[in-house]
Amino acid sequence: MNLKEFIHESKGTNLAPEEYVSVVGVVKKCINLFSMRVKPRTYPVTPRYFSVLNIKKHISSKPRYLVLDKIRLLDKESNTYKVIKILVVYNHPTTSDEAVFLKETNEIILFYDTLYNASYYKLFEIVSHEIIHAIQYYKKTSLKYTKAVSRDINNDPELQYTYYTEPLEFEATVGGILAKINAMYNNYIERIIDYREKDDKGAELYFVRKLSVFLKEYRQLATSPFDVYLTHQELDLPVNMREREQFLSTIQNNKKLKRKYQSAMLSLIDSLYADSIRKNIELDL
Pick the residue with more confidence: 162 or 150?
A: 162
Q: Is the pLDDT of residue 5 over 70?
A: no
Q: Where are the domains of the chain?
A: 3-140, 164-278
At 126 the pLDDT is 97
Q: Is the pLDDT of residue 6 over 50?
A: no
At 7 the pLDDT is 41
DSSP state of 83: E
- Percentage with pLDDT > 90 across the chain: 74
At 37 the pLDDT is 83
How far, in Å, CA of 69 to CA of 56, rounded? Answer: 27
Closest CA to 27 of 135, 241, 183, 247: 183
- How many CA atoms within 13 Å lie on the side-chain side of 124? 20
How far, in Å, CA of 76 to CA of 278, rounded? Answer: 31
Please state the rounded mean pLDDT for residues 106-114: 94
Pick the residue with more confidence: 206 or 284?
A: 206
Residue 54's pLDDT band, with cuts at 50, 70 and 90, is: low
At 181 the pLDDT is 97
Please state the rounded mean pLDDT for residues 141-153: 87
Please state the rounded mean pLDDT for residues 94-98: 77
At 146 the pLDDT is 87
At 196 the pLDDT is 96
Say if CB 68 and CB 110 are below 8 A apart.
yes
Q: Is the pLDDT of residue 52 over 80?
A: no
At 63 the pLDDT is 86
Q: Is the pLDDT of residue 10 over 80?
A: no
Please state the rounded mean pLDDT for residues 232-240: 93
Say if CB 13 and CB 132 are below 8 A apart.
yes
Name residue 252's amino acid. Q
Pick the residue with more confidence: 61 or 209?
A: 209
How far, in Å, CA of 88 to CA of 63, rounded? Answer: 10
At 67 the pLDDT is 96
- How many CA atoms within 13 Å lie on the side-chain side of 119? 9
How far, in Å, CA of 102 to CA of 139, rounded? Answer: 11
